[in-house]
Structure 1
C-alpha cells in the first residue's frame, strides 16, 4: 500500500507498506493476540489451501460428435447499443485462435451459440428474396409487354430506385439490416407500378399513330395526376408508421422510411428515365411474335368478357345496388372469421433454440440436480434434430440461483436439415420429459425477436402475501385447463424452513454490542467472511474465515456458538431468541405492490392474444378482495399498446389519403369512392390470414396499413380516366366502360407485378426470419388480389350510382344500345 513520498537532499523517495503474505505457511505462522498472549494462527485454526464450494456448474454435449464435457465455463459477449453484432462476432472469431494458443493443454474454446448467424442468414435470405422478386417481376412485365426493350425500360426503375435509396439511408444513419432489407423486398413490386402505367400509356398513344417522342410526351402528361396521386398515397401511409410513438413504432421506423425513400425515387424514375428511354429505344413498329399474338388475343377475350359483365352491372340502378349489397355482405361475412384469427406481438421464429428449465424440491443438492439434468440431456440428445446441449446446473439466469434448479439450452440443426420446426421439437421434448418424477420442467422456444420472457405473463397484486398466496391457487385452478396453455407456473414457492434468530436488545445494550456485531459474528461462523486476499502466481485468492461444517450443522450447535464482543466471548444463546419459521422464496414488487407472477407459454397453433383473451374471460368472474388486482405483464401490455397504436396509425393513414386525394382531384366525393377499396382489401386480408393460418402480428398489421396506400391506386387510375372522358363530353356510363377497357391491362400488370414481387416473401423463401416476411407477403397478396378483383366491379358501380343521383337526365349512347 503506498504511504506517500519524502525528499532527502536532491532525491525523492516513495514509501510503500508491503504486508502481503508470500505463502500459505506464512499465513499459518501468523501471530494472533489472545487473552493468554500471542499464538500462531495454525494452533487456533486449520489453514487449508482448498477450493471454494461449488454452487453452480455447466455441462456440454455435442450430439453429432458424441463429445461430452461435464465441467465447462460459459462466456457470454453482449454487444453495446451501438454495436454491430455481425462485425463483433467476426472479430471475436478472429481472436479465438490467438486465445486458444495461450490456454493450457486439453483446454478448448468452442462457440456454442452465435446470434450473428441468424442476423447474417436473415440478411442473405432477404437479399435473395429481393433478387428473386425482381426477376419474377421482370418476367411478368415481359409476359404483358412481350418486348425485351420495353421490359428493360420498366425493370430499370427497380435497381435505380433501390440504389438511389442508399443515399438517404446513409444520411439517416440506417444500416443494411433486417428491417431496411425487408422494406426493399416489400417495395420491389411497388417500384415498377408507376413505370408500368407510364409505359403502357405511351404504347397506347404510339398505337394511335404518334411518333416515339410525341407518344412519350403525351402518354406521360396524360396520366401525370393519376401516377402522382397513386405514389403520394403510398408515401402518406408510411409517414404515420415512421412517427408511431410506441416501442414497436420505433422498431418499424427504418422499414417505413426505406419504402418511402424508394417510392419517391420510383416516381422520379417514372417521370424521367422511363419516358426518356421510351422516346429512344422502343421500336417504331410493333414487333409481333406468335406468343405475343396469342397472349394479346387471350387478353382481348378476357377484356371483352369484363366489358360485357360491366355492361350488365351498369345496365340500371338495381344491378349496381345489388353489386354494392353483395360486397357489403362479403365484408360482414369476413368479419365472422376474425375470432378465429390469432393475435400475437411477434410471429414464432424457427431459430432452432429450445430452452428447458428444471426445478426440483427445495433443498435438493447440486449433485442430485445434476443427475436429473443428465437424464434430460440424454433424452433430448437422442433426436437427430439436436446439434448440442448446454446445461447450467444451479441457476436459471442471473436471479434464480439455487442448488435445486437448472436450465438446459438445446441447439437444433439448421432449419433446412430438419423437417420439424422449433415449436414441433418443443412438443416432442415435453412428451419425452413428462414422466420425470418430482421435477417441474418447462420447455419453450427461444427467439431473438421476442420482446419479453414468457409468452403469457400477469401479476396478482396486493399488500398481504398470505392473501396473494391463496389467490394464486384459485387463479391457477381457473386457467390451468385453458386449451393451448403450457408451462403454467408462478413465481411463488414455499421457502425452506428457517432458523430465525431474534436479538435480545436489552442484553446487547448491557454488553455494549450492536445488532451489526451480532450479525457479523453469525455470518462469519456459518457462511464465512472474506477478510483479505492472497496472491500467488499473478492470481488472487480469497482468505475466508469460517467454522467447520460439522460445528454448525445443527440448531443446538449454532446456539452454542461463541460470539466475541469487545474482547469478551458470549454464547449465541445468551444474545438471541430462536424460532423456526417458513422462509421466503422470492419477493416481487411491481408498482409498489407485492406481486406474484403467473407465467405460461402458447402451444403450437395457438397465439398469445387468443390465450390472453381466454384467461381474461375466465378471470372476469373472479371476485378479488378490496385493494387487490390483476396486472398484465410486459408482452400483453405491449400487444395492447401496439394494437391501439396500429389502429390509430391506420385511421391517420386513411385520413391523410383522403385529404391528399381531395386536394389532387379537387373533389370531396370522389376520394370517398376511391377509399371504398380499403374495406374491399380488408376482405382479402381476413381470408388470407384465415386460410393460411398466419396470426395477426405487428408485421401483418403493418402490411394492412401499407395496403391503404396500394389498393386505392387502381381506383385512382379508373376515376382519373373517367374524369378525362367526362370533360370530353362523355356520359358517366360510357366513360366507365371506356376506362375499364383502357385501364384493365395496366391495372392487372401493376397488380401482378406487386403480387409476384411479394411471392417469395409469402412462400417463405429462406430459412431465417421467414416468418415475419410471410406475414407481410400473405396479407399484402391476399388484400391486393381481392381488392383488385372487387375494385374493377364495385368502384364503377359506386361511381355510377353517385353520378346518376347528380345527373338523372344524362343520356348515354352506350347505355341506349
Structure 2
C-alpha cells in the first residue's frame, strides 16, 4: 500500500480519559451503529439496495415543476368587462361593490383596483401560507354576491389565480388566413377541444379570437315611421327564440315531458319574424353574421394572431403534460383541415423545466467529478476515493425518497438545494474514512480501526452536521421571501446532510472494512499497479510541494500568534475594518431576481387617441422589435394594444442570451421606440410600474375624495417642481374633454311621465345594443345582439333626436328631456386598499439625481396634507428592507441556535464562542469576492450567507473537539492546539476544497429560465469558505486560548468567592457550574 498517513508526533503514554474509556453517549451510539454494520453485513447491504430501489421509484414518480408554488406571490385577479362606461361610473357600480365584498376574504393582504372605460379589474394579494384553493372559492362566493348589484348588461366576470398554478403550461400562437370564413368554429372544434381532452389539462382558452355573432342593426327612421323604437323592438325579440321545460302530460299510460319551443330554424326565419301588423324584422333592420367589433389587436412576429393558453391541473406532472401537448401539436400541424392556420408553440413550460433542471443536474455532475478529483488528490487511493464518493449519490437518493413521501416536488429550488449539498456530503465520510485509516496505520485491527475511528469522530461530525441543519430552524420565525426560499431549500439540504451522517457512520466503516487488507496492496493487473504507483507518486510530490509546506507554515505562524496574541488581534481588526468599508460598496438586492429570458414593455398613449391612431403607432413599435429580432436572438415577439395602452413582449433564445441584462435591453429598446407627446414606456404594470428612466421620481397620493385628491395633487405638483434639480412634471399635453354627461331634466321628465331609468335604457340600447337569447345552430349557440346602425348613432346630433316614449306626449326627442355637457374626467381610476390614488411624476436633472431625490424626500417628510390624504413613494425599497430584516433575523437566530447546540454537546458555555469566531471570517470572503467582481449580493447570495453560518463552524468543531481529546490525554494547551491544527489540516483542507471546487460549476451555471442567477450564491460559498478555512487554523486556536483564559480566571474568581479558597493553577476544574464553563 502507498502510505497516505503523514507522520505524527508522539503522544505521551497516558491513560485514556474517562470519556474515552467508557465512551460518551455519541460514541457509544456510533460504536453500536458501526458494530451493527460490521456484524450484520448482509442486512446493511440489503438496506443499501432497498434504498436504491425505493429511490429509483421516487425519482421516477416525484412531480417535476419549474417554479415552486408561491414563488411569484399568491394573488387572484377579478376582471369585469363593461365597455364604453365612464371610469367613475365603473368605480361606483362595479369596483366599489366588488371591493366591499372581497375585502372580507380571509388572509387578504392587499386589495388594488383599476376602473376604466373597459370595465373593472381588482387585484387581491394574500398573505404567506394562505391556501389559495380555499381563497379562490371564497373570492368566487364574494363575486357572486357583488354581481347582484351590477348593471343588467354586465354579462361575465373572469377570475384568475396568479399563483404558480395559474402559470400557463403552454401558449400556442395561431395566425388565421383571412379567407377562412368561420375561424372560431374551426379552431374550437379542431384545436381547442383536442387540447382540452388531454390528460392533465384543466382549461384551454383562446385569447383574441371572438365568436361570430348575429347582429341586428335597426334603421331608426324605419322604426319610427312604424311607430316603434329600439327599446320596444328589443323587448319583443327578448321574449322569443327559446326552448323551455313546461312540466309533463300523460298520454294513455305514458308520462311525457313537455317543452315549449320557439326556436328559429335559421337566420332567414329570424329575418321574417313579425314585429307589427304587416311588418317583419327585415323591413326595419339589417341582419348580419360577422365578427364583433374589436377594440384591441394582437400580432405575433408581425402577423395578426391569437393565443391559445393551456393550464394544467394542479397535481399533474408538468413535464408529462407538456410532452402530450407537443405531441398533439405536431399531429395538428399535419391536419389538412388546419392548412389555413399558421401555428407556433410560443411557450412550453416543460421545455423550460427540462432546460433549467438539466442545467442544474449538469452542474451537479461536474461538481461530483471535481469533488472526486479533490478527494483522489488527497487520498491517492482509488478504492477509498470511490467509497467516499459513494456517499454523494446515496445521500441524494435518501433525500429524494423523503421529498417524495412528504409531497415535495422537484423544482428549480429543491434541485438547487441538492446541488448545493454535493460538496458537503463527503465531509462526514472524509473525516470518518481518514480517521479509520489513521487508527489502522497505528496498528489497530481492521475491525477495531473501523469501530474506534468512527466512534472517536462521531460527536464532532454529528455536531458539524446538526449545525448546518439547524440554520434552517429560524424559517418558522421569519416571513416573506426569506421564509419561502429557506423553506424550499431546507428539506433537500437538511435531509441530504442527515443522510450523509448515517452513511458516514454505517456504510463507510463497512465499505472501508471490506476494502482494507492486511497489506493493502490489491492492485489487480501489473499495468494498473504501475499506473497507480506513478500517479500516486506524482500526486504525492505535488502535495509535498504545496499543501505539506503550507501545513508546516501554518503551524509556525500559529505558534507565533499563540505567543503574541495581540498581533493577531490587530491584524484581524485591520482586515475586518477594511471588509466593513468594502461591504458598503457591495450592492445588496433583496428583491426577486430580475433576470429572465423574457421581457415586457408597457406603453401608455395619451387620452383622446383613437384605435386607428393606436394601430398606426404600434405598427412602428412592432417595426423596432422586427429590426432587433436577429440582434437580440428573439424566439418570438408580440404586440398587444387597445386605443390608449398596450404592451410589447418577447422571449430570447435561451442558448443565445444577449450579454446585457434584461433591464438594459428594455431601456435600449425603449430608446428606439417612436416618440410622441404624452407617450410613456414602462417596465412593469400600471401605476405601480417602474418607468424606464432613472431620472423620474414618482409620488402617489391616496384619498377617498377624488376631487380633493386632484386639487391637492395639483398643488403639491406645483410645489415640487420648484425644488432644485426638478426639471418639471411629466404629464400628457392638455387634453380635450373626454366625457359627455346627459343631465336629465327631472321636472320635465316628471311632467311627461317618464322615469330617468327609461331615458338611460333608451340611450344604452341605441349605442351599446342589447343582448338577445342565443341562436342555436346544430351543436352550438350563436350570440345575438340588436342596436341602431352606425349612421344613426355616430354624432351628438343623432343622439339628441333619439325618441323617448312618454306617458302623456307620445315620443319626445332626447334633447327635450336632457342637457348634454362635455366633461374632463379621469379615464382610469386606481385604488389601493379602497383608497383612490394619483401619481405625480417628476422629471429630474440626470446630473443631480441622487441629491434631488434626497431633497424631495426631505420636503415630502415635512408636507402637511389635508385630513384624509396620504402619500407614498412607489419603490421596492420598503419590501426589500423588510426582506433584509427577515434575513438578518434568520441569521441571528441561526447563530444563537448553533451556539446553544455546541454548548449542549460540548457541555460548555465558553468553548463554543471560539468556534463562532469563524462566522465573521467567512463574511470577509463574501464581501471581498462580490466587491472584486462587481456582482450584487442578491437573495440567493444572502441565503448562501445563512447557509455558510452552519458550514464554516464545522472545521472549528472538528479542530476543537480534537483539542479537547488531546488535553484529556495529558497534552498541555499549546501542544494540543498545535498538534490538532497539524493533524486536522488534511481533513479540513479536503472538506473545504471539495465544497469550494464543487460550487464552481453552479457559480458559472446558465441562469435559469425563471430568472434565478446562481452566481452570487456560488461566489458567497466560495469566498466565505475560502477565507473561513484559511483563517480557521489561526483564529479558532487563538480564540480558544482567550476564552480558555477567561474560563480559568472566572473559575478562580468563582472558587474564591463561593468556595472560600483559591484554585491552584494545575487543579482540574470540578463538576457543576465550573465544569459548565
Sort the TM-score into its range (normalised by shorter chain): 0.7 to 0.9
* CA 612–514 in structure 1, closer or farther in 2 if over 3 Å, else same: farther
Distance 2:972 2:812 in 1: 111
> C-alpha offsets along residues 263-283 of structure 1, whole Å, 9 cap, x if unaligned?
111001111111222222135
Match for 2:558 among 310, 335, 357?
310
Report the counterpart of residue 54 of structure 1 in structure 2.
Answer: 294
Q: In structure 1, the residue corresponding to 2:676 is in which secondary structure? A: coil
Match for 1:404 among 644, 669, 675?
644
Match for 2:577 among 329, 332, 340?
332
Q: Retained in 1: the 8 A contact 2:413–2:488?
A: yes
Report the counterpart of residue 206 of structure 2 in structure 1.
Answer: none
Distance 1:783 1:474 in 2: 51
Task: Structure 2: give runs of 5+ residues left out of the alignment.
Answer: 1-242, 522-532, 693-697, 843-849, 1050-1063, 1067-1077
CA-CA distance at 1:474 after TM superposition: 6.4
* CA 599–699 in structure 1, closer or farther in 2 if over 3 Å, else same: farther
Report the counterpart of residue 822 of structure 2 in structure 1.
Answer: 580
Report the counterpart of residue 364 of structure 2 in structure 1.
Answer: 130
Q: Retained in 2: the 8 A contact 1:134–1:757?
A: yes
Report the counterpart of residue 1026 of structure 2 in structure 1.
Answer: 785
Distance 1:490 1:193 in 2: 62
Match for 2:279 among 39, 47, 70?
39
Report the counterpart of residue 803 of structure 2 in structure 1.
Answer: 562
Q: Structure 1-normalised TM-score?
A: 0.86
Q: In structure 1, the residue corresponding to 2:310 is in which secondary structure? A: coil
Match for 1:738 among 979, 993, 1011?
979
CA-CA distance at 1:220 after TM superposition: 1.6
Distance 1:802 1:613 in 2: 49
Report the counterpart of residue 309 of structure 2 in structure 1.
Answer: 76
Q: In structure 1, the residue corresponding to 2:775 is in which secondary structure? A: strand
Match for 2:767 among 503, 507, 526?
526
Report the counterpart of residue 654 of structure 2 in structure 1.
Answer: 414
Report the counterpart of residue 350 of structure 2 in structure 1.
Answer: 116
> C-alpha offsets along residues 450-498 of structure 1, whole Å, 9 cap, x if unaligned?
xx9759998432233314543784699699989xxxxx99999979521
Match for 1:682 among 914, 917, 923?
923
Q: Retained in 2: the 8 A contact 1:415–1:421?
A: no
Q: In structure 1, the residue corresponding to 2:368 is in which secondary structure? A: helix
Task: Structure 1: give runs of 5+ residues left out of the alignment.
Answer: 62-67, 395-401, 447-451, 483-487, 601-609, 812-817
Report the counterpart of residue 502 of structure 1 in structure 2.
Answer: 743
Q: How does 1:43-192 map to 2 (within 5 A)?
A: 43-61=283-301, 68-69=302-303, 71-97=304-330, 101=335, 103-192=337-426
Match for 2:790 among 543, 546, 549?
549
Q: How does 1:395-544 map to 2 (within 5 A)?
A: 402-416=642-656, 418-433=658-673, 435-438=674-677, 440-442=679-681, 444=683, 459-463=700-704, 464-467=708-711, 469-470=713-714, 473=717, 497-536=738-777, 538-544=779-785
Distance 1:103 1:408 in 2: 32
CA-CA distance at 1:213 after TM superposition: 2.5
CA-CA distance at 1:45 after TM superposition: 3.2
CA RMSD of aligned residues (A): 3.5
Match for 1:260 among 486, 494, 498?
494
Distance 1:634 1:119 in 2: 31
Q: Retained in 2: the 8 A contact 1:559–1:571?
A: yes
Q: In structure 2, the residue corresponding to 1:272 is in which secondary structure? A: helix
Q: How does 1:348-427 map to 2 (within 5 A)?
A: 348=593, 350-383=595-628, 384=630, 385-394=632-641, 402-416=642-656, 418-427=658-667
Q: In structure 2, the residue corresponding to 1:109 is in which secondary structure? A: strand
Distance 2:339 2:730 in 1: 45
CA-CA distance at 1:752 after TM superposition: 0.6
Q: Retained in 2: the 8 A contact 1:492–1:586?
A: no
Match for 1:6 among 223, 231, 249?
249
Match for 1:227 among 442, 458, 461?
461
- Between 1:174-183 and 1:244-253, the stretch displaced more is 244-253
Distance 1:356 1:301 in 2: 59
Distance 2:513 2:381 in 1: 15
Q: Retained in 1: the 8 A contact 2:606–2:732?
A: no
Q: Retained in 1: the 8 A contact 2:482–2:886?
A: no
Distance 2:942 2:774 in 1: 59
Q: How does 1:660-671 map to 2 (within 5 A)?
A: 660-671=901-912
- The number of aligned residues is 773
Distance 1:617 1:632 in 2: 9
* CA 140–481 in structure 1, closer or farther in 2 if over 3 Å, else same: farther
Report the counterpart of residue 510 of structure 2 in structure 1.
Answer: 276
- Between 1:278-287 and 1:129-138, the stretch displaced more is 278-287
* CA 465–270 in structure 1, closer or farther in 2 if over 3 Å, else same: same
- Between 1:652-661 and 1:410-419, the stretch displaced more is 410-419
Q: In structure 1, the residue corresponding to 2:602 is in which secondary structure? A: strand
Q: Retained in 2: the 8 A contact 1:392–1:407?
A: yes
> C-alpha offsets along residues 646-687 of structure 1, whole Å, 9 cap, x if unaligned?
222112211111110001000000111111111111222222
Distance 1:565 1:3 in 2: 36
CA-CA distance at 1:696 after TM superposition: 2.9
CA-CA distance at 1:392 after TM superposition: 4.2
Report the counterpart of residue 28 of structure 2 in structure 1.
Answer: none
Q: Retained in 1: the 8 A contact 2:738–2:824?
A: yes
CA-CA distance at 1:388 after TM superposition: 4.6
Report the counterpart of residue 64 of structure 1 in structure 2.
Answer: none
* CA 277–495 in structure 1, closer or farther in 2 if over 3 Å, else same: farther
Q: Retained in 2: the 8 A contact 1:346–1:697?
A: yes
Report the counterpart of residue 1040 of structure 2 in structure 1.
Answer: 799
CA-CA distance at 1:611 after TM superposition: 13
Q: Retained in 2: the 8 A contact 1:197–1:746?
A: yes
